[in-house]
Structure 1
Amino acid sequence: MAFRELIDDIDEAVFDTLGDSAQIEGRTEPVLGMFSAPWKQPAFGKVQTAIREPRFEIRLKDSDGLSRGLRVTVDVPAFDGGGDYDLLQLEPNGNGLVALILRKRP
């Protein structure tokens, strides 16, 4: 079994167990990913990161056909940053995941 196939199996298990759900404009089925809203993160010490935009990390295979401007509705409680976002940019990271960089819709 190739390395990428092993990683796909691991990602499948992790996303199915721990993933957040989002509805992406034009898709009939929700997409599983990992949502992060940096302004909502708990503060541990004084660690500063350069990450400011909300992001939704998805598997590369789920990113086909996505483009800037689509609506992404993240299904987590509003208190944790859930709601409607615009897709600003796609950032593949080279390990089979793509970060959807988001901006909160007014």
Structure 2
Amino acid sequence: MAFRDLVADLDAAVVRDLADDDITIDGVPVPGMFAAPWLGPDLGHQRTQLDHPQVSVRDADVADVREGSIVDVGGDRYRVFELQPDGTGWTVLLLKG
């Protein structure tokens, strides 16, 4: 099995086991993981400076998402203000309430 196939299998397992099942983007259900680090959580003794809600999604699942797209998660509505692809096939969508 090729490395690319192994990574695709791993990504599918991550989505299957960890994705929130109530995320829609512009009305379309999208598998992803929502995080709301409101208070800039501590990582050991260092502040992480994370202060925006965000959704981690596979690039292929958000090919049409743009800044301004509407994300609904668990009854809350957000607007995408930045897309941050990480180069591994995943993108973090930074959100505003």
Tell me which interval the TM-score lies in, with the shorter structure as reference length.
0.7 to 0.9
* RMSD of equivalent CA atoms: 2.0
Could you tell me the percent identity over the aligned residues?
Answer: 40
Q: SS state of the match for residue 39, structure 1?
A: coil
**Structure 2 equivalent of residue 92 of structure 1:** 85
Deviations 1:3-26 (A, max 9, x none): 232111111112111111311115
Segments ≥4 residues shifted beyond 3 Å: 40-47
Aligned residue runs from structure 1 range 1-106, under 5 A: 1-21=1-21, 22-27=23-28, 30-39=29-38, 46-75=45-74, 83-104=76-97
Stretches of structure 1 that go unaligned for 5 or more consecutive residues are 76-81
Secondary structure of the corresponding residue to residue 20 of structure 1: coil
Worse-superposed segment, 59-68 or 44-53: 44-53
Q: CA deviation at 1:87?
A: 0.7
- TM-score computed with the length of structure 2 as normaliser: 0.84
Distance 1:17 1:58 in 2: 14
Instruction: Give the drift of 1:47.
Output: 3.5
Gaps of 5+ in 2: none
Task: Report the 3-state secondary structure (helix = DSSP H, G, I; strand = E; otherwise coil) of the residue aligned with 2:63.
Answer: coil
Size of the alignment, in residue pairs? 96
What's the TM-score, normalizing by structure 1?
A: 0.78
